Structure 1
Amino acid sequence: MSTIEQISEHIWIMHACHDTDRPILAAISGAKRTLLIDAGNSPTHAALFRQELQRHGVRQPEILVLTHWHWDHTFAMSEWNLPSIAQAETAHALRKLISQDWSDAAMEQLFEQQIINESTMANIKKEYGGNRNMIRIVEPDILFQESITIDLGGVTCEVNHVGGDHAIDSCYVYVKEDQTLFLGDALGPSVYGGPRSYTASSFLRLLRQAYAYNAQLFVESHGRPMDRAGFQKELGDWEQLAQFTEKYGQDRDRIAKEMSTYLQVPELPHEFSKALEWFMVGAAKE
């Protein structure tokens, strides 16, 4: 079961649960109001966070911001029933899903259209069981293109559209006073629209943008919060792989050799070998 934790003066999170792909949910409490970052993947997921906030005496959220449109971040919007803020492409993507009934046949059709993948289908079935009729897609209320700033009362949240391979609408949310950056899933590979892929130039751009903030705490939606040094150490090898890909293009063997030398290993570890294939797909697109 997910656990709740206060990670800074104004921020409480409920940790990700990989069993049904539940992402981190966050409540940022200011003197005027509390902001919820992402809605969750089901009403059950949302209700659990609400109960945990209440148990810890944290003011309940009064406004919601979405990091991107994917099901695990948005399907619980109806449970919260809050005014919601999202990038314009988030609204566009959700609008196309409103009429879906989420039956097996409907999901198979979405899979064939490459709007979702097999993992998403499996996780939705596991999360909802036989109650998929309770899925209700909600359109966001307030849309922005590039950025929006939210004043919570002594706490400022800056939401910036960054895009990337994972989702065209991906956003970073920076809690200025707590020096905490929520990255959503922006640093992940594409998961819909065909084979998974990383675009080296995009990945490196997203890292530069993340490091440009004066953040001391970094939170990825399906990971654990990390301090700046830990985050840079964790991402350093992936950054190097992206740099080799940017330099050598589709020369897989050269990249693998250079990366193995960099890691001081005889052959590329599985996780980097797999990521290299994603970068090769991205290189072919470029």
Structure 2
Amino acid sequence: MSTIEQITEHILIMHASHDTDRPILAAITGERKTLLIDAGNSPAHAALFRQELQRLGVRLPDLLILTHWHWDHTFGMSEWDLPTIAQAKTAHSLSKLMGLNWSDEVMEQLCTEKIINASTMAHIKKEYGMNRDLIRIVDPDILFDESITIDLGGVTCQVNLVGGDHSEDSCYVYVKEDQTLFLGDALGPSVYGGPRSYTASRFLRVLKQAYQSEAILFVESHGRPLDRAAFQRELRDWEQLALLTEQYGQNREQIVSAMCTFLQVSELPHEFSEALEWFMVGAAYQ
């Protein structure tokens, strides 16, 4: 399948690439302006999307919105040079990274301080090679706290802070006319700040906010667009695991038993065993 896809009347995306952790980038085109969702993980990632937009004759972005501060969503900002909208915590987190040279020693120190992790360091090295001098952190221009509405001309984008385990600044972007919800990575576990973890209450709250939207299409940054029925099917088992963690706390055996019964299996599949460990860490934190 092509890396470029028109998923609705007003929305064109470039699909995620897992090789160097490139997330989905999206162009939302209204009558007056085009909004870019996330900047990409490098100038090369950003330039590739721009070239595809030009090839297809799509109006180039006039504005950029960031779903959260993580490198794979923000390090392409310098290539776009656009007025950028971000949640206030996103700007604060990015400010801590400004002026770094991104050498191996600096990244190892960032890992020690749990600002990034070893996986991020490996992906940055692979994405940039010896050209890490291209990493330039850019301050967002327009900050908001809880929500902001962006009128593109006949197309309205509602941006809401939802937080969650993955990053406290995570935002949803809802394209009203296309009934499409961009979730960023908000439903993911924490990846920085310590061991990978899920907090059941946070996961369930963020998932509930997604379900409460009027969206018929859901887009997670490192997945594929799903209609509502497919999204609910995909999240059903994870929701159950979170509910069981809320119910049984750190009683691993009880959760495993109940989850196996729910899945109608004799042994918990690896993906749920792994996620259960993340929920156990989250339960211990609570």
Smaller-chain TM-score range? over 0.9
What amino acid is the match of 2:283? A
Find the aligned partners of 1:2 and 1:60 in 2 and give their Cα distance. 20
* Matched residue SS, 1:271: helix
- 8 Å contact kept, 1:34–1:60: yes
Matched, 1:192 2:212: no
Runs of 4+ in 1 over 4 A off after TM superposition: none
What amino acid is the match of 1:55? R
| Aligned 1:101-116 pairs, distance under 5 A | 101-116=101-116
Find the aligned partners of 1:20 and 1:227 in 2 and give their Cα distance. 27
TM-score w.r.t. length of structure 1: 0.99
What amino acid is the match of 2:39? A
Question: 1:2: how far off?
Answer: 7.1
What amino acid is the match of 1:12? L
* Matched residue SS, 2:178: coil
Question: 1:20: how far off?
Answer: 0.1
The residue that corresponds to 1:144 in the other structure is: 144
The residue that corresponds to 1:262 in the other structure is: 262
* Matched residue SS, 1:177: helix
Find the aligned partners of 2:151 and 2:134 in 1 and give their Cα distance. 33
What amino acid is the match of 1:18? H
- 8 Å contact kept, 1:2–1:17: no
The residue that corresponds to 1:213 in the other structure is: 213
- The C-alpha deviation readout for 1:127-180, integer Å capped at 9, x for no partner, is 000000110000100000000000000000000000000001000000000000
Find the aligned partners of 2:99 and 2:35 in 1 and give their Cα distance. 28
| Aligned 1:79-118 pairs, distance under 5 A | 79-118=79-118
What amino acid is the match of 2:259? M
What amino acid is the match of 2:123? N
| Aligned 1:57-68 pairs, distance under 5 A | 57-68=57-68
The residue that corresponds to 2:135 in the other structure is: 135
* Matched residue SS, 1:182: strand
Question: 1:197: how far off?
Answer: 0.3
The residue that corresponds to 1:9 in the other structure is: 9
TM-score w.r.t. length of structure 2: 0.99
Question: 1:104: how far off?
Answer: 0.3
Find the aligned partners of 1:100 and 1:115 in 2 and give their Cα distance. 13
Find the aligned partners of 1:194 and 1:214 in 2 and give their Cα distance. 35
* Matched residue SS, 1:195: coil
Q: How many residues end up aligned between the 2 structures?
A: 286
Identity of aligned residues (%): 77
- 8 Å contact kept, 1:2–1:16: no
The residue that corresponds to 1:160 in the other structure is: 160
Question: 1:47: how far off?
Answer: 0.3
Find the aligned partners of 2:103 and 2:258 in 1 and give their Cα distance. 47
* Matched residue SS, 1:122: helix
- The C-alpha deviation readout for 1:176-215, integer Å capped at 9, x for no partner, is 0000000000000000001000000000001110011100
* Matched residue SS, 2:218: strand
- 8 Å contact kept, 1:67–1:171: yes
Find the aligned partners of 1:281 and 1:99 in 2 and give their Cα distance. 33
Question: 1:99: how far off?
Answer: 1.7
Find the aligned partners of 2:49 and 2:179 in 1 and give their Cα distance. 23
Task: Give the unaligned 5+ runs of structure 1.
Answer: none
Question: 1:25: how far off?
Answer: 0.1
* Matched residue SS, 1:166: coil
Matched, 1:46 2:81: no
Find the aligned partners of 1:2 and 1:216 in 2 and give their Cα distance. 22
Find the aligned partners of 1:2 and 1:76 in 2 and give their Cα distance. 22
What amino acid is the match of 1:277? E
- 8 Å contact kept, 1:29–1:35: yes
Find the aligned partners of 1:217 and 1:29 in 2 and give their Cα distance. 17
Question: 1:262: how far off?
Answer: 0.5
The residue that corresponds to 1:281 in the other structure is: 281
* Matched residue SS, 2:177: coil
What amino acid is the match of 1:13? I
